[in-house]
């Protein structure tokens, strides 16, 4: 599939075509009411979660990298996007032409996260409390405590994709891997460019309480630059 890391062929958001993204074949988790997420979101903007110390795994959990593929992993498409001074969003899709199965807003600015990734490896851990009485898919959890390279950095909130989120996914659907910007005049915010980075991620299910997403480098010769750990503790 083709890669793209500039905006010359991107359809401007304001002149976008109707959303044509396909339904995923197997959703990671079912959607919850948008009203519930907005309510929780408004609460946790003011009251971050207090959680135990971060537990970021230091290896690939015994899964070996071979030919740019992790044994036992499932290839997904992951996109980090957002306005540079605003919070970054993470969207996970089965592939670039599907509707997202997960969208998270992370309490890290888009510019800061992309800058950190340019300086070296980034490990993001998203932790929540295990509740034995509730048996839901780990990625259906609405609120997560966020750690970036071992430092507590606020929280992550699962959300229903907004119209703008879907516009971004639609605009980027021809792109399998790459990074760039959607210029300010083509976005919903005329005062800010929208930055994005898209890559293949390997999804590794370690247990019902632990999943990891490893961003695969195109050359396949080095460790993932970004790893995202979902853990219930």
Q: Could you tell me what percent of the chain has a pLDDT over 90? A: 56
Mean of pLDDT over the chain: 80
- This prediction has a pTM of 0.77
Q: Which residues are within 8 A (CB) of 124 and not within 5 positions of it... i.e. 6 or more apart?
A: 106, 146, 147, 148, 226, 227, 228, 229
The token pair at 72 is 């036992």
pLDDT of residue 41 exceeding 90: no
- Say how many C-beta atoms besides its own lie within 10 A of residue 190's C-beta: 10
Listed range (12-16, 100-104, 202-206) with the worst mean pLDDT: 12-16
pLDDT of residue 174 exceeding 50: yes
Supply the pLDDT for residue 71: 60
């Amino acid at each position: 599939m083709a890669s793209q890391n500039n905006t010359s062929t991107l359809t401007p958001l304001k002149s976008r075509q109707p959303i044509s993204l396909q339904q995923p074949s197997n959703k990671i988790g079912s959607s919850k009411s948008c009203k519930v997420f907005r309510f929780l979101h408004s609460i946790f903007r003011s009251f971050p979660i207090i959680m135990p110390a971060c537990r970021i795994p230091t290896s690939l959990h015994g899964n070996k990298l071979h030919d740019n593929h992790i044994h036992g992993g499932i290839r997904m498409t992951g996109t980090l996007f957002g306005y540079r001074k605003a919070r970054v969003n993470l969207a996970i899709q089965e592939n670039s032409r599907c509707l997202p199965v997960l969208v998270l807003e992370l309490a890290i600015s888009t510019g800061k996260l992309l800058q950190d990734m340019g300086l070296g490896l980034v490990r993001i851990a998203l932790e929540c409390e295990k509740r034995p009485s509730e048996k839901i898919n780990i990625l259906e959890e609405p609120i997560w405590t966020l750690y970036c390279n071992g430092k507590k950095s606020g929280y992550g909130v699962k959300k229903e994709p907004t119209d703008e989120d879907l516009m971004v996914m639609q605009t980027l659907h021809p792109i399998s891997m790459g990074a760039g910007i959607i210029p300010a005049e083509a976005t919903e915010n005329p005062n800010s460019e929208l930055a994005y980075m898209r890559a293949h991620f390997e999804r590794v299910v370690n247990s019902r309480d632990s999943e990891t997403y490893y961003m695969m480098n195109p050359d396949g010769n080095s460790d993932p630059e970004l790893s995202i750990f979902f853990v219930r503790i």
